[in-house]
């Protein structure tokens, strides 16, 4: 049993609240990502689960065991939490060989030598480092060092695996292949994972659920699809994917684009001033007709798509991304029409 | 063709600095080595044989090595746990302890020696009296004039070298390496043993060697604490030989000095090789706050131990000299009526004393000004150019700094008393040259570190705008590294101001410095005037350090 429950957790450093009222239930075998810009409290939250920080308030349970509860002062130190952890800086010990690094958690648990050798070789094979046992970390590439860290975190069959931005020191190509490797390994071992990242595509591709955080506060918890298509607020919409924000005003059951007769269904029953949000790929461009008229301002050719900027009125520039269209379809300065699909409404601050 | 003159001016400046450094650092050392080996025109070891066949010299060598080893081991045993407690645990008052332990480095060692003699001399030592009173003892429990006493004072005043080296390395170590051990199931102590200690090993050895070299090259403490107990070390023997004043004395001294130089410089070479090995470099990630080990029930015990050490190492000796400086009559007890500013009056009104202080200030300022200019050129050359041999001046400066003071002084006496052209013997210039040779390395390091932060493109932009190289230096580079230049100035000024070892050999009738004066007062058992002067030195050094701290915002301190 290795579900994790984080209840009403706060972390304050002096007067600064790094994490405020954090609540999350992670199911056994689930892959959950904590996603947010730097300084949003995601790493602090992970470090509280690991036991490197105490909660100022609240309770953390791993499996059946309460590991931190501020009310009765319960605090289980990191070494007694039965977790594996992978750090951004790899934290592979430079004075030990690859084999010794991976063997270390088993040695601490006093597993006998034969058993240890078998388990270490097994996990090294799994991360494709079977031949590298005798090497020292400084003889390995960054990606290989990260695999050593992963093997070390998994070798003792921990009930929970924590990953703190494990891929951000790797180059782009390697980052992508490691994503799939970690994902596949997690599915194969069925281990519960909490993964911290600021990279939305990492979170989207790997996670069962994503926790979007900002300024120490959870903004939304949900499946990747729901987070993308139904963001809870402006922050989430802006942080995940690209989005155009336009000012709108609610009149009855319609939200009007400010200064125009163009309106959208007010399905959230908002009132007053609102923000109308629409993603660039959900806008259609046409020369003949649409709900909004504008002028083509700039075009950026990206190979698989074209990124357009359309001037609407005096104030607004709308970004439109169209896949697989020919660059020359529209000319700069030409009048164009836009159609909005999947429009989202948010309260304006 | 337009940029030719730029290369010329650069080349001339560099060539000049190299020549100056060769003449004042390398040349005297070569002469010293030559003199020690060449007897009657032939190279041989007869000089060494003659010197070491004298029991007192051989005993001094053994004493030096034994003491240095003892002090090195004691320093590492004391400072590693303290560096760990201060750097990696939730010990209360960590920052204060850090400041005190690092700061004790700026107390002139001979002031510390004077203080400990006051406290632990067998006849009237304050602490001995206190222990006798508390435990109803008939005899003083401690005798400072012993190998143990000497090792004790040396350890207190040279262990900061180890503390600074070890705690710096600990700060640089990626804390997630330790956290990884914690999640792997290791307790804090097991983590310390399995991860922290092995990773710190090179720095621990390096810090220990620094202490070994410093203790072996020390003169002030062995002279004040060891000599009254007839404990001789290499440095005190060298001084005794030089004081004999004849050719034989000097020649005997050269053999001892070269032996000391080989030990010290050899160890430093080994140390820099050890630290330059790449095995232990690790990628450092984002700077998370390192996880602080919770001491729990040991918190108060650890606090008491560290606080006790800081009290004994720093507060107690300073307290002792300050107190002594205000005692009206040493023959009376420590009653309130026996305290007053009376002992200060004769010191402050003495022309002789005030002249010495003034002289030391002037020599310090001159050395600091010349040294800073040279440091800037040397640092620029090694950091900012790609000329062949660019790091040679840097290397020469390091060679000077790593050579024991007593060796430098002896080499300067032999070389610059007229036998090879220049005669500056018993003038202030020989003192200033000595200070420069010994202390320029700190200022070069500081300036070089800050120069390496100035990107080459800033300089190229100025050259592109049509400025000459000298003009670029004046308008762009110097202003950008100004704080480190000022810091470098203080790093030469302060140790030069209170220098004793070299000054004691190099001073003349009209160039007695405050260090020498204080040393004389102490040897003539004028402990009161010595205490007053010690307090004056401490105040000046403290003020200098506060200014330095202000300028560099705490990044550099002596």
A57: phi then psi, degrees, rounded to nearest 5: -145, 155
pLDDT at position A345 over 70: yes
Q: What is the DSSP letter of B528?
A: H
A14 shares contact with chain B (CB less than 8 Å): no
What pLDDT does residue B366 have? 96
Question: In this structure, what DSSP letter does residue B280 have?
Answer: G
Arithmetic mean of pLDDT, A88-106 = 93
Q: Tell me if B49 is assigned to some domain.
A: no
Percent of chain A with pLDDT over 90: 67
CATH number at residue B453: 1.10.3720.10
What are the residues whose beta carbons fall under 8 Å from the beta carbon of A85, sequence distance 6 or more? A50, A153, A161, A162, A163, A164, B179, B180, B183
The arithmetic mean of pLDDT across residues B374-389, rounded, is 83
Instruction: Test B182 with A87 for CB contact under 8 angstroms.
Output: no
Test B183 with A81 for CB contact under 8 angstroms: yes
B397 and B288 housed in the same domain: no
**Please, what is the average pLDDT of chain A?**
91
Terminal Cα distance for chain B, rounded = 46
Q: Which of B325, B353, B388 is the last residue of a domain?
A: B325
Give the span between the Cα atoms of B534 and B528, in whole angstroms: 10
Distance CA A279, CA B269 (A): 64
Residue percentage of chain B with pLDDT more than 90:
53
Count of CA atoms in the C-beta half-sphere (13 A) of A199: 16
- Helix ranges, chain A (H): 42-50, 98-108, 113-126, 142-154, 172-189, 200-206, 224-229, 234-239
Mean pLDDT of the B526-552 span: 89
Instruction: Look at chain B and report how many structural domains it folds into.
Output: 2
Q: How many other CB atoms are found less than 10 A from the CB of residue B296?
A: 9
Best of B169, B172, B180 to substitute, by most chain A Cβ atoms within 10 angstroms, is: B180
Cα(B421)–Cα(B417) distance, rounded to whole angstroms?
8
| Lowest-confidence segment of A128-142, A215-229, B378-392 by average pLDDT | B378-392
Residues of A in contact with B285 (CB under 8 A): 87-90, 165, 169
Neighbours of B241 (CB within 10 A): 23
- Supply the mean pLDDT for chain B: 88
- Could you tell me if A290 and A270 are in contact, meaning their C-beta atoms sit under 8 angstroms apart? no
Q: What is the pLDDT, as a whole number, of residue B285?
A: 44
Q: Does one domain contain both B494 and B553?
A: yes
In a domain, residue B2? The reply is no
Kindly state whether residue B200 falls inside one of the protein's structural domains: yes
Is-contact A55 A71, C-beta < 8 A?
Answer: no
Judge if B90 and B222 occupy the same domain. yes
pLDDT grade, residue B280 (50/70/90)?
low
For chain A, give the percent of residues with pLDDT over 70.
99
Model confidence band, residue A62 (pLDDT cutoffs 50, 70, 90):
very high
In a domain, B1, yes or no: no
Residue of A79, A88, A153 lying closest to B182 (CB–CB): A79
Structural domain including B202 reads: 54-325
* Residue B332 falls inside a structural domain: no
Pairing of strands A254-257, A263-265: antiparallel
| Confidence label for B7 from pLDDT (cuts 50, 70 and 90) | low
Q: What are phi and psi of A291, to 5 degrees?
A: -80, -25
> pLDDT tier at B8 (50, 70, 90 boundaries)?
low
How many residue contacts between A and B have a Cβ separation below 8 Å? 98
Q: Please check whether residue B220 is in contact with residue B504, taking contact to mean a CB–CB distance below 8 angstroms.
A: no
Q: Which of B183, B279, B288 sits opposite A85 (nearest CB)?
A: B183
| Spatial distance between the Cα atoms of B14 and B16, rounded to a whole number of angstroms | 5
Long-range (24+ apart) CB contacts under 8 A made by B65-68 are B65/B216, B65/B263, B66/B147, B67/B147, B67/B150, B67/B151, B67/B154, B67/B215, B67/B216, B67/B222, B67/B233, B68/B211, B68/B212, B68/B213, B68/B215, B68/B216
Residue B298 maps to a domain: yes
What residue has token string 């003449």? B23
Q: Cα B376 vs. chain centroid, distance in angstroms? A: 21
Q: Which residues are CB-contacts of B373 (< 8 A; sequence separation ≥ 6)?
A: none
Mutate to test the interface with B, among A51, A92, A94, A140 (most CBs of B within 10 A): A94
The pLDDT confidence band at residue B474, using thresholds 50, 70 and 90, is: confident
Are B495 and B437 in a shared domain? yes
Q: Which of A11-25, B6-20, B284-298, B438-452 has the lowest mean pLDDT?
A: B284-298
Beta bridge partners of A85: A162
Tell me: pLDDT of A112 over 80.
yes
Rounded to whole angstroms, the Cα distance separating A25 from A9 reads 12
Residues B126 and B190 in one domain: yes
User: d(Cα B310, Cα B308) in Å, to the nearest integer?
Assistant: 6
* Interface residue A37 vs chain B (CB under 8 A): no
Whole-angstrom Cα distance, residue A258 to residue A253? 15
Whether residues B182 and A77 touch (CB distance < 8 A) is answered with yes
CB contact under 8 A, A91 and B180: yes
Res. B355: pLDDT tops 60: yes
Q: DSSP class of residue B45?
A: S
Which residue of chain A comes nearest to B182, CA vs CA?
A79
Backbone dihedral region for residue B358 (phi beyond 0: left; psi -120 to 50: alpha; all else: beta): alpha
Last residue of a domain, one of B298, B325, B352: B325
List A213's β-bridge partners, or say none.
A218
Instruction: Give the tens place of pLDDT for each residue, B35-77.
Output: 999 887 788 888 899 899 999 999 999 999 999 999 999 999 9
User: For residue B268, what pLDDT band results from cuts at 50, 70 and 90?
Assistant: confident
> Does one domain contain both B369 and B448?
yes
CB count in 10 Å sphere of residue B423: 12
Least confident window among A76-80, A212-216, B271-275, B379-383: B271-275
Do B83 and B152 fall into the same domain? Answer: yes
Looking at the structure, tell me whether residues B34 and B94 fall in a common domain. no
Nearest chain B residue to A151 by CA distance is: B184
Q: Considering the domain boundaries, does residue B47 fall inside one? A: no
Give contacts of A73 with chain B, Cβ < 8 Å: none
**Among B198, B278, B284, whose Cβ lies nearest the Cβ of A95?**
B198
pLDDT by residue (tens digit) across B97-154?
988 888 788 889 999 999 999 999 988 889 998 999 899 988 889 999 999 999 999 9
- B377, B489: one domain: yes
By the 10 Å C-beta count (0-12 exposed, 13-18 middle, 19+ buried), B9 is classed as: middle
Q: Which residues of A touch B184 (CB under 8 A)?
A: 79, 104-105, 108, 152, 156
- If you average pLDDT over residues A155-177, what whole number do you get? 90
One domain for residues B230 and B196: yes
Contact B399, B265 (CB under 8 A): yes
Question: Residue B262 pLDDT > 80, yes or no?
Answer: yes
Mean pLDDT calculated for residue range A116-137:
94
Angle, helix B46-53 to helix B27-37, in steps of 10 degrees: 80
- pLDDT recorded at residue B45: 86
Q: Closest-CA residue in chain A for B291?
A: A52
**Alpha helices per DSSP H over B218-312:** 220-221, 234-244, 247-276, 299-310
Buried b (16+ CB within 10 A) or exposed e, B133-144: eeeeeeebebbb
Quick check: B338 pLDDT over 60? yes
Q: Is the pLDDT of residue B507 over 70?
A: yes
**Residues B292, B294, B299, CA angle at the centre, nearest 5°?**
120
The tokens for B13 are 């400046």
Which pLDDT does position B1 carry in this prediction?
42
When pLDDT is cut at 50, 70 and 90, the band that residue A163 belongs to is: very high
Question: By the CB < 8 Å criterion, does A50 face chain B?
Answer: yes
Q: Are B501 and B235 in contact (CB under 8 A)?
A: yes
CA-to-CA distance for A79 and B291, rounded, in angstroms?
13
From chain B, the residues in CB contact with A83 under 8 A are 183
Looking at the structure, tell me whether residues B111 and B229 fall in a common domain: yes
Tell me which residue of B476, B414, B478, B486 sits closest to B443, measured CA to CA. Answer: B486
Instruction: Tell me which of B325, B356, B371 is where a domain ends.
Output: B325
| pLDDT tens digit sequence for B74-95 | 999 999 999 999 988 999 998 8
Region of poorest pLDDT, from A319-333, B306-320, B356-370: A319-333
Q: How far apart are CA B552 and CA A53, in angstroms?
A: 33
Q: What integer pLDDT is reported at residue A136 of this predicted model? A: 92
Q: For residue B277, what is the nearest residue in chain A, using CA coordinates?
A: A138
Residues B353, B500: one domain?
A: yes
CB B82 within 8 A of CB B137: no
pLDDT digits (tens, 9 = 90+) for A30-54: 999 999 998 899 999 999 999 999 9
Which residues in B lie closer than 8 A to residue A153 (C-beta atoms)?
A: 183
Quickly list DSSP for B390-407.
TTHHHHHHHHHHHS-HHH
What's the confidence (pLDDT) of residue B436? 96
* Nearest CB to A87 within list B188, B194, B285: B285
* CA count, 13 A, side-chain hemisphere, B339: 7
pLDDT at B419: 83
Nearest Cα neighbor of B288 from A93, A43, A146 is A43
The answer to the question of residue B549 being in a domain is yes
Mutate to test the interface with B, among A87, A145, A149, A168 (most CBs of B within 10 A): A87
């Amino acid at each position: 049993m290795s579900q994790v429950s984080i209840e009403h957790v706060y972390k304050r450093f002096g007067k600064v609240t790094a994490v405020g009222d954090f609540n999350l239930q992670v199911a056994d075998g689930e892959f959950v990502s904590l996603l947010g810009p730097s300084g949003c409290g995601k790493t602090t939250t992970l470090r509280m689960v690991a036991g490197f920080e105490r909660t100022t308030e609240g309770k953390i349970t791993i499996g059946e065991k309460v590991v931190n509860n501020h009310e009765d002062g319960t605090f289980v130190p990191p070494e007694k939490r039965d977790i594996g952890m992978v750090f951004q800086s790899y934290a592979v010990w430079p004075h030990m060989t690859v084999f010794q690094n991976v063997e270390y958690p088993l040695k601490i648990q006093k597993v006998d030598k034969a058993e240890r050798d078998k388990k270490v070789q097994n996990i090294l094979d799994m991360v494709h480092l079977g031949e590298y046992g005798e090497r020292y970390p400084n003889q390995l590439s960054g990606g290989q060092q990260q695999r050593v860290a992963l093997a070390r975190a998994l070798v003792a069959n921990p009930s929970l695996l924590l990953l703190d931005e494990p891929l951000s020191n790797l180059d782009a190509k390697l980052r992508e292949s490691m994503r799939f490797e970690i994902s596949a390994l997690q599915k194969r071992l069925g281990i519960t994972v909490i993964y911290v990242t600021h990279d939305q595509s990492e979170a989207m591709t790997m996670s069962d659920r994503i926790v979007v955080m900002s300024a120490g506060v959870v903004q939304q918890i949900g499946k990747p699809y729901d987070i993308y298509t139904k963001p809870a607020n402006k922050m989430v919409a802006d942080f995940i994917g690209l989005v155009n924000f336009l000012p709108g005003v609610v009149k009855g059951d319609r939200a009007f684009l400010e200064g125009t007769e163009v309106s959208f269904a007010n399905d959230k029953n908002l009132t007053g001033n609102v923000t109308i949000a629409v993603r660039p790929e959900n806008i259609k461009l046409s020369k003949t007709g649409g709900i909004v008229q504008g002028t083509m301002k700039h075009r950026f050719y990206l190979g698989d798509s074209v990124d357009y900027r359309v001037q609407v009125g005096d104030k607004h520039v709308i970004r439109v991304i169209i896949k697989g269209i020919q660059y020359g379809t529209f000319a700069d300065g030409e009048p164009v029409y836009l159609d909005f699909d999947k429009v989202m409404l948010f309260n304006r601050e | 063709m337009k940029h030719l003159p730029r290369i010329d001016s650069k080349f001339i400046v560099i060539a000049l600095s190299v020549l100056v450094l060769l003449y004042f650092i390398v040349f005297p050392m070569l002469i010293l080595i030559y003199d020690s080996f060449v007897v009657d025109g032939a190279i041989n070891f007869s000089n060494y044989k003659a010197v070491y066949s004298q029991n007192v010299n051989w005993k001094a060598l053994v004493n030096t090595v034994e003491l240095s080893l003892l002090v090195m081991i004691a320093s590492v045993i004391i400072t590693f746990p303290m560096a760990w407690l201060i750097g990696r645990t939730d010990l209360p008052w960590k920052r204060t302890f850090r400041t005190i332990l690092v700061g004790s480095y700026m107390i002139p060692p001979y002031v510390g020696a004077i203080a400990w003699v006051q406290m632990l001399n067998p006849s009237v030592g304050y602490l001995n009296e206190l222990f006798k009173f508390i435990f109803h003892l008939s005899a003083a429990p401690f005798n400072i004039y012993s190998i143990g006493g000497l090792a004790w004072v040396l350890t207190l005043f040279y262990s900061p070298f180890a503390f600074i080296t070890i705690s710096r390395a600990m700060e640089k170590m990626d804390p997630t390496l330790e956290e990884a051990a914690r999640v792997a199931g290791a307790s804090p102590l097991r983590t310390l043993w399995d991860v922290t200690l092995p990773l710190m090993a090179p720095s621990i050895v390096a810090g220990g060697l620094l202490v070994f070299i410093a203790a072996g090259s020390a003169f002030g403490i062995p002279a004040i604490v060891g000599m009254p107990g007839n404990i001789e070390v290499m440095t005190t023997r060298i001084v005794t030989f030089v004081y004999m004043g004849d050719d034989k004395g000097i020649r005997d001294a050269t053999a001892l000095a070269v032996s000391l130089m080989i030990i010290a410089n050899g160890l430093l070479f080994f140390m820099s090789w050890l630290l330059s090995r790449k095995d232990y470099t690790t990628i450092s990630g984002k700077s998370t706050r390192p996880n602080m080990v919770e001491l729990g029930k040991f918190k108060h015990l650890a606090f008491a131990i560290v606080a006790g050490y800081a009290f004994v190492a720093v507060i107690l000796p300073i307290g002792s000299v300050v107190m002594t400086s205000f005692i009206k009559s040493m023959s009376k007890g420590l009653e309130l009526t026996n305290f007053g500013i009376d002992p200060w009056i004769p010191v402050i009104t003495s022309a002789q004393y005030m002249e010495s202080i003034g002289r030391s200030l002037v020599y310090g300022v001159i050395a600091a000004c010349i040294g800073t200019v040279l440091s800037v050129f040397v640092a620029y050359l090694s950091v900012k150019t790609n000329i062949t041999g660019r790091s040679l001046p840097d290397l020469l400066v390091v060679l000077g700094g790593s050579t024991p003071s007593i060796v430098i002084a002896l080499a300067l006496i032999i070389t610059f008393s007229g036998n090879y052209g220049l005669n500056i013997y018993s003038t202030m210039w020989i003192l200033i040259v000595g200070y420069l040779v010994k202390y320029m390395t700190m200022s070069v390091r500081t300036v070089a570190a800050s120069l390496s932060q100035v990107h080459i493109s800033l300089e190229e932009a100025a050259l592109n705008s049509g400025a000459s190289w000298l003009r670029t230096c004046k308008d762009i580079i110097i202003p950008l590294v100004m704080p480190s230049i000022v810091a470098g100035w203080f790093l030469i000024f302060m140790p030069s101001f209170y220098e004793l070892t070299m000054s004691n050999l190099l001073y003349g009738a009209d160039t007695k410095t405050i260090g020498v004066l204080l040393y004389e007062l102490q040897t003539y058992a004028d402990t009161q005037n010595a205490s007053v002067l010690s307090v004056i030195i401490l105040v000046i050094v403290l003020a200098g350090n506060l200014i330095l701290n202000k300028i560099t915002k705490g990044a550099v301190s002596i």
